[in-house]
Every structure is written in C-alpha cells, then in structure tokens.
Amino acid sequence: MNAQTAIFAPFARCHRHLEYRVTGNVSAETLRPAIKAAEEADNVVIGFGHELWQKLGQSAPPELKPFSDIGPAHSTQADLWLWIAADDHSAVLDTSMTLHTLLSPIATLEREIDGVEYHQSRDRIGFEDGSANPKTEEAQHQAACIPEGVTGTGGSYVLTQQWQHNLPAFNAVPIKEQEGIIGRTKADSIELEGDAMPATSHVSRTDVKVDGVAQKIWRRSVPWGGVEANGLYFVAFACELSRIEIQLQRMYGLSEDGIKDRLTEFSAPTSNSWWFTPSQEQLRAL
C-alpha cells in the first residue's frame, strides 16, 4: 500500500488547510466526487476523523480516535481535513475552491488556514521548523506510515493543531535564552548539547524514546498569519498515534517527570484534531 503522494512531496511555498464538519447523512457515495478530485490531484492530502471513517463503513486503524483534551490543548475535532499545497498561490486557491464546491452541499467549513513558507522553512519565531525530520525516504515512510500487517497499512495517523504565538513576548527574550527554549541555535539550527540543553527545551520534551525506540514522526507544518495574529499550523504524520500523543503529554508536563516545555509559555494551540489519511489504494477504492 502506498501513502498519498503529496505527503512526501517536496515542501511547497503555499498551503491551505480546510477542516469540515459533515452535516446530515453521509456515505461514500455522497463524498465520492470530492474524494475522487482529491485522489486524482498530486498536491492534495485528505484525512478522515474517526466518526466519519466509521460512517463510511471502513475498518479503522487500531489507535484512531477523536481528539480529547491534553492539558490546555482542547479538542476541536472535525470530520474531514484537506491539505492543498503548491508553489503558486493561485493554484492552491483554485483547487481549494473546486473541492469546497463539491463538499459544501454536505459539509460545513469549520476552519480555513492559509499558510506560506517563511524564510526557508522557518517558523514565525525565527527558528527552522522540522529540523528533526527523518532524512532518508525509507526513514520518512517508517516514521509516517502504518506498517504491513496492521489495519490501515500505508496510511498515517495525523495530528493537526493551529498554534497562535505571542511574538512580542518571545522576541523580547534574548536570543541565547530563545535558543534554550527551543533547544537549537537560531541562525543555523544546530542542536544544543550537554549542559547547554535545558530539560525544559522543546527538543528535550519532544525527542522521546520508548523501550529504546525513537518516537520519530514526519512534520509538515506551515506558518500562518500577519502582523497581529500569527503562528504555526502544525501537521505531524505518524505510524503510531501514541508517538505524537506522548510528545504532547511531555510538552504539558503530564509525563512522570512533570517537566513542561517552555515553548508553551509563548504559544498555545487553538485547534486540535486527530485524522487518518488512508493509503492511495484505500482512497481510490472509496
């Protein structure tokens, strides 16, 4: 089973994320035009919430569930998620409009995020985003895709979160302290080492091993916003939902050591949802 093509495509400049709530009765038949359009495009990823996937009569991967609150990360779980990406903003908008036209008779748009690459893959706080992503194609697929022999093979568990930053507060912090908050240097994204790496850094809280296995994920986040409201639309694909859940628990001090991620002092998620992105073959079968 092959993952949806756009998940591993080179990162584009322009992005739009759409989250829908399905209204009334829904079936694979009523969703088919939109699913077909998404499946045939090479720049669209489509994800399903737990309840919608069940309504479509599909077998769910074992860990799929609706998002429930994790500390201050409150659930805004919707039914359907679309990620459209391209280097040309017009192409992203045109595809988004086409898909929205197909979905609007059966679904309500709950969230629309327009994101653009910022200074060569940097977050709006100025640090490079996704530095810890697996580097090889094989490692990327191992981190992101449900393995053979498990329901949902070739698909992925996905977390989406819209984070809103308090940029004035973060920018008021000296750069050296900012680097301690993130766990990397700001200019060249080199990971801090030894005593220079605080236990409260974002890297320390999200770089996790369970029974000796690194809990790697595949990040595809994009900055959003303007001069006042801005932040990061965080997107993470994983072969196991628990990999991302553990990282969130550690960020909010809900693990055994009780240590919190200092980045949460300057940024908060305003939306949180789990999704399942089925394989290309599963999507085509729908």
Domain boundaries, given as residue ranges, for the chain: 5-285
129 labelled catalytic: yes
How far is CA 7 from its chain centroid?
A: 11
Mean pLDDT for each 10-residue chunk of the chain (286 residues)?
94 97 90 93 96 94 97 97 98 97 96 95 95 95 97 97 98 98 97 96 95 96 96 98 97 96 98 97 91
pLDDT score of 150: 96
Q: pLDDT for 194-236, tens place per residue? A: 999 999 999 999 999 999 999 999 999 999 999 999 999 999 9
Rg, Å, the chain Cα set: 19
Name the DSSP letter for residue 93. Answer: H
Specify the DSSP element, H or E, that contains 100.
helix 89-103
List of residues 6+ apart from 14 with CB closer than 8 A: 85, 86, 87, 88, 89, 91, 92, 115, 116, 117
Q: Write down the catalytic residue from 129, 188, 207, 257.
A: 129
Q: What angle do CA 232, 238, 243 make, to 5 degrees?
A: 90
pLDDT for 98 equals 97
pLDDT score of 24:
79
